[in-house]
Amino acid sequence: MRDIGFIGLGIMGRPMAERLLGAGYAVTVFNRTPQKAEPLLARGAHWADSPEAVARRSELLITMVSDSDALQDVARGPQGVLRGIRPRAIHVDMSTVAPHTVEDLERTYRERGAVFLHAPVLGNWRHAAEGTLLIFVGGDRQAYETCEPVLRTLGQKIWYFERITRATHMKLIANSFIASMILTLAQAFVFGRRVGITPTRLLEILDASALNAPMYQSKGRTMCERDFRPNFYARHMLKDVDLLLEAARCANVPLPVFGVIRELFVATTARGFGEEDYSAVLKVMEEMAGLAPEDGAS
């Protein structure tokens, strides 16, 4: 397995494609905004004019796109992957999308004699660049084994699930921790500042406790610095909480706490912070408390 296609060169996709190039694979890329492909072409990647064209040249095809609709377009569009996919080729989508979308695609690909796997990841662009993503893979076992070496280039830790939607669900659950933890942190920051406990002190104490998670420290620091440049867009977090609630509804699981969390991310995008990092939910909490950004922040 040498010829790999890669579609979707955003914050995550680009460093992932770079790692594959670095590992010696022949990589053909496509992106809706072609300019984003340039650094990869400079490093030896090939360009193709459509998902269909990428598919024609690839044994293994990887996609990293923003949501279920984008994935459906890439797969089923007029110049989509399904028009060009080779027999027995494998399409591994690594985006966070809806469980029913991956189920549909798995069925369609099987009917065409190809394979669709879902392999969503946990981690940010730094992990992507370092090949330390956590990967949840779901779908046909043999296909997974075939492409496992490629996936190991992107992340050493891989969990495999026979049923494709388990990987999808696992990713939604992982993101539920992120969403809930950022809100716990944001609410603690706002309350702490109002009563005279600085965020820095709070992080130091958290760090010494059994409650600490590396994410609290890394996000906590950028929030202290009011650095809301996106590692993961607030609007994507909203999308993922939506997918979570929708999937939980289908599974007959009420998630009352996330019902509120969702609305706070709706507020985050409503207030114009959708293109910032999801930790910008802090600003919504501050506004609700009537707290100026600088009050008690040092």
- How long, in residues, is the chain? 298
Mark residues 143-162: x for contact with a second copy by CB under 8 A, - for none: --------------x-x-x-
Rg (CA), the chain: 20
Q: Tell whether the torsion through CA atoms of 227, 232, 236 and 240 is positive or negative.
A: negative
Alpha carbons 87 and 198: distance in angstroms, whole number = 59
Mark residues 222-261: x for contact with a second copy by CB under 8 A, - for none: ----------------x---x--x-xxx-xxxxxxxxxxx
* Catalytic residue list contains 36: no
How many CB atoms sit inside 10 A of residue 129's CB?
17
From the CB of 117, what's the least distance to a second copy, in Å? 17
* Contact in structure between 5 and 54 (CB atoms under 8 Å): yes
From the CB of 53, what's the least distance to a second copy, in Å? 30
From the CB of 104, what's the least distance to a second copy, in Å? 14
Of 131, 262, 277, 279, the one binding a second copy (CB under 8 A) is 262
Of 53, 147, 264, 280, the one binding a second copy (CB under 8 A) is 264
Of 188, 203, 237, 280, the one binding a second copy (CB under 8 A) is 188
Of 44, 184, 225, 293, the one binding a second copy (CB under 8 A) is 184
Task: Give φ, ψ of 26 to 5 degrees.
Answer: -85, 115
**Residues between 94 and 133 with contacts to a second copy, criterion CB under 8 A:** 122-123
Nearer to a second copy among residue 27 and residue 247 (C-beta): 247
From the CB of 75, what's the least distance to a second copy, in Å? 20
**Residues between 200 and 219 with contacts to a second copy, criterion CB under 8 A:** 201-202, 204-206, 208-216, 218
Nearer to a second copy among residue 162 and residue 225 (C-beta): 162
- Distance between terminal CA atoms of the chain? 53
Chain Cα centroid distance, residue 135? 11
Residue 286: which H helix or E strand, with range? helix 281-288
From the CB of 215, what's the least distance to a second copy, in Å? 5
Sorted by sequence, the CB contacts under 8 Å of residue 198 that are 6+ apart come out as 192, 296, 297, 298
Nearer to a second copy among residue 48 and residue 202 (C-beta): 202
- Exactly one of 36, 171, 239, 283 is catalytic; which is it? 171
Nearer to a second copy among residue 51 and residue 220 (C-beta): 220
Tokens 């798995």 found at: 106
Of 102, 151, 170, 203, the one binding a second copy (CB under 8 A) is 170
Alpha carbons 85 and 178: distance in angstroms, whole number = 35
How many CA atoms within 13 Å lie on the side-chain side of 254?
Answer: 1
When asked if residue 284 is in the footprint of a second copy (CB under 8 A), the reply is yes
Return the closest-CA partner of residue 156 out of 132, 185, 137. Answer: 132
Which residues have a catalytic role annotated? 171
